[in-house]
Amino acid sequence: ITFCGCVGSLRENICLLQTFSICLTIVFLLQLAAGVLGFVFSDKARGKVSEIINGAIVHYRDDLDLQNLIDFGQKEFSCCGGVSYKDWSQNMYFNCTAANPSRERCSVPFSCCLQDAQEAVINTMCGQGMQAMGYLEASAFIYTNGCIDTLVNWIHSNLFLLGGIALGLAVPQLVGILLAQILINQIRDQIKLQLYNQQHRADPWY
């Protein structure tokens, strides 16, 4: 989109400038619609977030990038699982049933563990058997709060920051649309002036 705007302004190409302006308008409207729908359907959005997080838990060991993302999120927000740390039982490796032969049965990832600043080496097996413990007992070793509520609370407490970011993204888009339209009108006026001059040069009485 930026390429169209840049080349269109340099070459004074109306087609590229219109493409730039239309695409930028569509992006802006989509962002606006997403914000409004997220606010109006906040409960459904929360359900969708829950679905995404639960799906990520199930496929935790299948994708290294996903695994790193979940570990980062759990450490950053001091949370574990979706609703609670016992959600990790949805994963085939961490499943707490007696039939599960995995060495990680009833465990949670190391990113759920309470971090000790004095520890130089991270114990990746610190979540061993935590799902078999009660909330009070497990809270001494791991984060027991789920990431869904933690994330929702973080969003509520940072609404002004998120609003500022959204405004910071919207203003340059609106300025870009406005400048593109001004340039298009200037180019059209210049074309009209050139045509007018050509017509009068062909006039024998000119």
Residue 128 to residues 37, 74, 159, Cα–Cα distance (Å): 41, 17, 37
Give the start-to-end residue ranges of the domains of the chain.
1-195
Q: Could you give the CA distance from residue 8 to residue 176 in angstroms, rounded to a whole number?
A: 13
Q: Please tell me the predicted confidence (pLDDT) of residue 151.
A: 83
> What's the confidence (pLDDT) of residue 204?
58
Would you say residue 203 has pLDDT above 70?
no
Q: Residue 58: its pLDDT value, please?
A: 94
Distance separating alpha carbons of residues 12 and 145, to the nearest angstrom? 57
Classify residue 49 as exposed, middle or buried by CB count within 10 Å of its CB (0-12, 13-18, 19+): middle
Q: What's the maximum distance between 2 C-alpha atoms anywhere in the chain?
A: 102
Report the share of the chain in percent with pLDDT over 90. Answer: 55
| 202 band by pLDDT with thresholds 50, 70 and 90 | low
pLDDT of 42 over the 70 cut: no
- Nearest alpha-carbon partner for 138 in 148, 146, 129: 129
- Of how many residues is the chain composed? 206
Going by C-alpha positions, the residue among 92, 121, 120 that lies closest to residue 105 is 92
Task: Report how far residue 159's alpha carbon sits from residue 169's, in angstroms, rounded to the nearest whole number.
Answer: 15
What sections of 41-78 are H helices per DSSP?
A: 42-58, 64-77
Q: Which of 59-68, 72-81, 125-134, 157-166 has the lowest mean pLDDT?
A: 157-166
- Residue 144's nearest CA partner among 67, 68, 88 is 88
pLDDT digits (tens, 9 = 90+) for 180-190: 999 999 999 99
Q: How confident is the model at residue 205 (pLDDT cuts 50, 70, 90)?
A: low
Question: What pLDDT, on a 0 to 100 scale, did the predictor assign at position 154?
Answer: 79
pTM value surpassing 0.85 = no
> Which CATH topology does 1-195 take?
Cd81 Antigen, Extracellular Domain; Chain: A (1.10.1450)
| 183 vs 64: CA distance, rounded Å | 48
Residue pLDDT, tens place only, 133-182:
999 999 999 999 999 888 878 777 777 777 788 788 888 999 999 999 99
Q: Which residue do the tokens 């999120």 mark?
A: 73
Q: Is the dihedral of CA 56, 59, 63, 67 positive or negative?
A: positive
Cα–Cα separations (whole angstroms), residue 55 to 33, 59, 61, 81, 131: 26, 6, 12, 11, 19
